[in-house]
Structure 1
């Protein structure tokens, strides 16, 4: 069980406060039959910040410290695992995809139903088809294990896997150049952001057709 209201990424909040910018809080809810929150939406929309906040609130709770938010109910956990996108390293000798697969295999082997897992843009270095296949397999494995998880991804299909999976999406405002940093429960919005950007720059289908036929 996880129910936290108006939480935020502490590191980002400190930076925003220094710059005099507002801090936007978001809710995180995973009911007893919900295990993986899959977060999709436009770049720089608050997805990664939400994943970091998810990890921070669990870590701070384990230390017995206050967490960012207005109300919280957080179940106990035995271990926390993270898998964040990293640039390739010449010292590693592996590509990003191999490192992602190896890392997720280790997490799935070690995680239990009381574990917490945070994943950000895992498998983003591969093709869309492979990203769907690999990401879906990992999420299904986490649902089967019962681990409390957040998975940030560019692949909308993973958010619609069904039982045990909760879809969350970053808001797409009317002006696509702005960001609300609101992330809510709801179906993925697909190409909505790209379509809004195209309209803003006069590259949407209707405008292009008028230009071609005029």
Structure 2
């Protein structure tokens, strides 16, 4: 008899544990809480896709920038380098160089280099800075989504939590029972929504700060190259004068 009682207690404990499993909490949740969970799960998946793409791309652009700088400072003719990369620049730094050389060649073909040196250099600098801004805008695409998820996901999860707790108290009032077993599933569902909110927000916030810092350094690298190339062009114009 005692063995039977123990077996029944063990079976009941297993059933209670199953009812509090993550899948069961999701299935039994109210439709509002389910909607919140779907939103947070989708946002988390999209965040991880953005994080993977941005981290991979930034690393690739850093490697390509280092390769281009080696070619640029190798002492070879800039016209030859432009002929190799000018038509189809593969990275932002190559695009900045190609934009400047394109403006330089356009002015040279019109014989404007010696007569309008100051204006030419100003145009080249403007073209390079516009190209830097355009390329960085491309690299920062979708980055604001990480910031939005990082700031709003906890509150979205909190909405599901508040709604779930309201339903739990409604169940207590309807059943007129204050046992923890009655309210535990509803409260667990509610807290699960908060957990999903934090699960989406924490990686998004960390990744946003890291990627933003890396992109800021890369933008500084592009600006430094643009300034160095502008100095080279200035010296070239002075020699031609």
TM range, smaller chain: under 0.3
Name the one with the larger helix percent.
2
Larger radius of gyration: 2
Name the one with the larger strand percent.
1
Question: TM-score normalized by structure 2?
Answer: 0.21
